[in-house]
Amino acid sequence: MRFLKAHKLFDGEQFLPENTLLVLENNGILKDIILDIETDILNIETLDGIITPGFVNAHCHLELSHLKSLIIKETGLSEFAKQIIINRNNICKEEIFEHQQLADKNMFKAGIVAVGDICNTTESFDTKQNSSIFYYSFIELLGLNPANANTNFDKGLELLKLLINTGLNGSLAPHAPYSTSLELISKIAEYNFSENNICSIHNQESYEETKFFMGEKNRFKELYSFLNMDISFFKAPKISSLQHFYPSLKNQKTILIHNTFTKKEDIDFTNIKTAFWCFCPNANLYIENKLPLFELFSHLKNNICFGTDSLASNEELNLITEANVILKNTTIFNVETILKFMTFNGAKALNISDKFGSFIIGKNSGLNLISENNNQLSFIKKIA
């Protein structure tokens, strides 16, 4: 049995009274939360720092781990996508697998216990099956042409069934509004609703996306030309991409990813209960050299979570570095709120708050020791 005390204890939603103790079984399972005045225990471990639950990375692309340092920074989303396509299959499957395993191990070492991960293939399944991390996999579907909605949906459903048959958890997800037709998004939403699944979608990551939907000159046309795709069927709705696709989601729980160019009227258009806003600030800087207007989201503190995106768009898969970017660039979120984004909110977004994101009696939801200095966080070690 271990009895842990620290400078501060953060339970996933708030800091606990300073005389609080965590009682752990030897296997890391939380047995109790007590006050030290209630006990005469002598072997209390007093740690210098903040004890938190394990972190939840709500958005990642483990499949792209082998692309670290291969994609040029700050070229914009359309050029970034082209470089992903060019470089994605340039090495053998064995090396891709090794990079995924290393990324998985490094996330665990950095205190991450659960991940919402994007899948386009089966390549990450083996890594996830043998991981110490809990993965919720979003099988990502693409297809802007509505004529192909049924075919694209069937392919995605086949991949999802393969995932489920391996014992992993997941659901279907559209890639982005500029790459997925309303017809396909609707089919995904209907299926997820029938299965009580959650959804995710890349949202307003680039200003080019806004121009594409407003019918203005944009760089996405260059991307589709590179892909030899005829998009003459697409008629710009002349509203924001979010306002275009969001009604098709039918108010199911959806993680909106990036939100770099989201405006107040877009936020007001969504359901405050079912829309979760996932920020990946280091990826935003890597691709567009732009951050979301965090101040617009100040009233949504219960529905904000963090992701790392991929190693194609980030130096590391580490939620501490994501948090520090936000703490450095806005004053609207304090450390306590930021820690909630990294833990409880991420678990709530992924429907796993019964297992992760807080101090849960009878569970090992991970314990991290961190420090805070000058409004910046540092990871010290995993405790459990």
Average pLDDT over residues 77-98: 95
pLDDT tops 70 at residue 79: yes
Classify 234 as helix, strand or coil.
coil
Helix axes 77-87, 207-214, angle to 10 degrees: 110
What is the overall mean pLDDT for the chain?
A: 96
Tens-digit pLDDT profile for residues 263-277: 999 999 999 999 999
Instruction: State the pLDDT confidence band at 43, using cuts at 50, 70 and 90.
Output: confident
Instruction: State the pLDDT confidence band at 221, using cuts at 50, 70 and 90.
Output: confident
Is residue 172 located within the same domain as residue 150? Answer: yes
206's CB contacts (< 8 A; 6+ apart) are 76, 77, 78, 260, 261, 287, 288
pLDDT tops 90 at residue 130: yes
Is residue 74 located within the same domain as residue 202? Answer: yes
Helices (H) then strands (E): counts for the chain: 13, 14
Is residue 88 located within the same domain as residue 139? Answer: yes
| Nearest of 201, 217, 205 to residue 249 by alpha carbon | 201
Is residue 273 located within the same domain as residue 362? Answer: no
| Nearest of 272, 249, 123 to residue 197 by alpha carbon | 249
| Stronger pLDDT, 255 or 221, i.e. the higher one | 255
CATH number (domain holding residue 73): 3.20.20.140
Is residue 98 located within the same domain as residue 166? Answer: yes
200's CB contacts (< 8 A; 6+ apart) are 59, 116, 118, 138, 173, 254, 255, 256, 257, 278
pLDDT tops 90 at residue 344: yes
Instruction: Count structural domains, the chain.
Output: 2
pTM tops 0.85, yes or no: yes
CATH number (domain holding residue 17): 2.30.40.10
Is residue 124 located within the same domain as residue 188? Answer: yes
Is residue 140 located within the same domain as residue 217? Answer: yes
- Would you say the C-alpha torsion 210, 212, 214, 216 has a positive or negative sign? positive
Look at residue 38 in the predicted model and tell me its pLDDT.
65
Look at residue 101 in the predicted model and tell me its pLDDT.
98
Is residue 84 located within the same domain as residue 223? Answer: yes
User: Is the CB of residue 83 less than 8 Å from the CB of residue 90?
Assistant: no
Average pLDDT over residues 82-91: 93
Is residue 162 located within the same domain as residue 294? Answer: yes
| Strands, E assignment, the chain | 2-9, 20-24, 30-35, 44-53, 55-60, 112-119, 134-141, 169-174, 199-203, 254-258, 275-279, 304-306, 367-373, 376-382
pLDDT tops 70 at residue 137: yes
pLDDT tops 90 at residue 113: yes
Average pLDDT over residues 188-195: 96
Domain that holds residue 243: 55-356
Look at residue 39 in the predicted model and tell me its pLDDT.
66
Look at residue 319 in the predicted model and tell me its pLDDT.
98
Token duo for residue 153: 């949906």
Is residue 261 located within the same domain as residue 153? Answer: yes
User: Is the CB of residue 172 less than 8 Å from the CB of residue 142?
Assistant: no
Q: Which residue has the tokens 């990079």?
A: 99
Average pLDDT over residues 142-167: 98
Least confident of 36-40, 99-103, 327-331: 36-40
Average pLDDT over residues 165-188: 98
Look at residue 283 in the predicted model and tell me its pLDDT.
98
Average pLDDT over residues 329-342: 97
Is residue 146 located within the same domain as residue 24? Answer: no
Is residue 98 located within the same domain as residue 156? Answer: yes
Which DSSP letter does residue 353 get? T
